[in-house]
Chain A
Amino acid sequence: MNSPYSVTAPGGKVRLLVMDAKEGLPSAFALLGTTAHEKVAIRLAGGCKGMGPDDKAQMMAFFKEAFRGYVGLVWSGATRQTTKAGAIDPMVTDVPGIIAAENQGCVALGTVPRVEMMTLQQESRLVLDQYGTFPNPSMLGILVVQNGADGSLDWDGDVKTYAALMNQWRDCGGFKSLGLISWNGGVVTKDEIIMSIKQGWVTVLITGTGRATDELAAELKADDVAFGGKYNLPATWATMTHVVPKTDPSALHNILASRGFIIE
């Protein structure tokens, strides 16, 4: 069995690019995204707070099934964490690598804000913060977004960057469909969901996963008109937004197929 630190990305290496948040977007990273077989991109947002090992195993199984046949770009935050026993502690950020490994032609990428000074520990292992979070080694490329060499960012410091990249892929790179899928998550995830809807991306909330995703889904279900007004959403938002229970991966698969993300 691989160690959590084993690089499983294609070619045995993860390409790391560092950019300042105020700089222009990096061409090299944008080009990596175009290597996906189909020009479609899905961002996974969320977290795993409050989830037990069984929940996490179910999350992996859910996405594996829902993304069967997906050969586009899938990306998320770019971190990985371990359990106290030293095994992988599965998070949403492990999902893109799993999907890419299951579907030849699919490309997994990630972004991460530099929230502290990065360090090299033990056998020259790159560590992102004081809690031992490290870059996810299952991704083809990771974009580290920093606030200058001396500054630091919060954990939402990469959101504007990934949103801009998504739109550039669509506007200039010929990407046909963009989407965001949320699972659990906190305040940052909530903002990402609303941003995605406002951008006109296909937005899917997976319910039963907890916290921000469930809260927004409940608000939406209770009164969709009030929901649109509260978050100042464009008139067409409802046509681009879906709610899927975590027990029904087929429903997500069907949405992905009907929206052009999966060609069947």
Chain B
Amino acid sequence: MNDQNHDGRVIPSLYMQNKGESSIRFALRLTSAPSRVVVRITGGCGNMSAADADGMYDLFAEALKGFDGGILFGGTRMISKEGGKILPSVTEIPTRIKIRAPDAVILGVVPRTSELKLVPGLGMVVSGESGAAYDSIIHPNQEACLLVQQSVDTGVEWEAEYRVCLDIVKNLRDYANWQSVLISYNGGSVTKKEILETAERGWPVVLVSGSGRVTGELAEDNDFLNEHPNVLVAEKTSESLRGVLAKLGVWGVSAEGHRNTFKFALAQGA
């Protein structure tokens, strides 16, 4: 479905969507994954060093080794204005997972918060104000990216990303018998909104404890966890995260041998 670069890398397809619309092509792209499970990765990298970021990438890549469902993420890459370095970010995680999970289908959702710019050597810049330390570009390593805007002339807030992801996940769950997991790492106020809204819907959430900020705080909030039995906590190790995902049935195979079975073990008291 995707063209490839001369070096064999997939060239992402780019879709534009006005707020309130839904994209049939984007939704169907996810369903081309062998397993009917979508993992949504959210969070941030506030107060994170480059070494911490490397640990985060390894953690996710090892925990999701062999995963063959869909992955929804922020769809951007941050490039420093000085030196042009790729900055540590949660949005780099899917690329690392893909190396160890080649059958996973990775799609990004990017809110158009300002005018898009095509910059030589950088690609499509989605934000990069003159005073900012970095430019955000469309991440080049994804199967497809959905750009969300209010209209041609009006952008949207950054939180449109998670709202669109919630809509996509809801459609997959309601109409296509998919299951979902939100994995949260670090993050700020928008991440908190996404965790709370997902938890309230009763969908599975995995918080990585010790990852910092909002995710770390909620992972230690016993009242919140007791009120939401669909929210699980994983330690900041690949073994722990993989174990929690296994408990949720991400790797489940049905008695009939069908791969497309994600059993929501929590609902059954597992």
Contact = CB atoms under 8 A, between A and B. Distances in A.
Partners in one complex: yes
Interface of A: 15, 24-32, 34-35, 37, 168-169, 171-174
Q: For this complex, into which size category does the number of interface residues on chain B fall?
A: 10 to 19
A169 B25 CA distance: 9
A15 B171 CA distance: 13
A30 B28 contact: yes
B27 A27 contact: yes
Interface in B4-31: 21-29, 31
Tell me if A's interface is mostly helix, strand, loop or mixed: helix
A31 B25 contact: no
Interface stretch (B131-139, B172-180, B208-216, B231-239): B172-180
Most chain A beta carbons < 10 A, residue from B23, B25, B174: B25
Contacts of B171: 27-28, 31
B152 interface: no
Given A172-B1, A173-B31, A173-B32, A35 B25 contact: no
B201 interface: no
Most chain A beta carbons < 10 A, residue from B22, B29, B31, B175: B175
A35 B177 contact: yes
B174 A173 contact: no
Contact of B32 (A15, A24, A31, A174): A174
Tell me if B's interface is mostly helix, strand, loop or mixed: helix
Interface string B111-155: 000000000000000000000000000000000000000000000
Given A172-B1, A172-B32, A32 B24 contact: no
Most chain B beta carbons < 10 A, residue from A25, A26, A27, A37: A27
A93 to B, nearest CB: 22
* Minimum-distance CB pairs A-B, first 8: A174-B32, A173-B28, A172-B28, A31-B175, A31-B176, A34-B31, A27-B22, A27-B27
Most chain A beta carbons < 10 A, residue from B21, B28, B29, B31: B28
B258 interface: yes
A58 B1 CA distance: 41
B175 A172 contact: no
B25 A168 contact: yes
A121 B94 CA distance: 54
B28 A32 contact: no
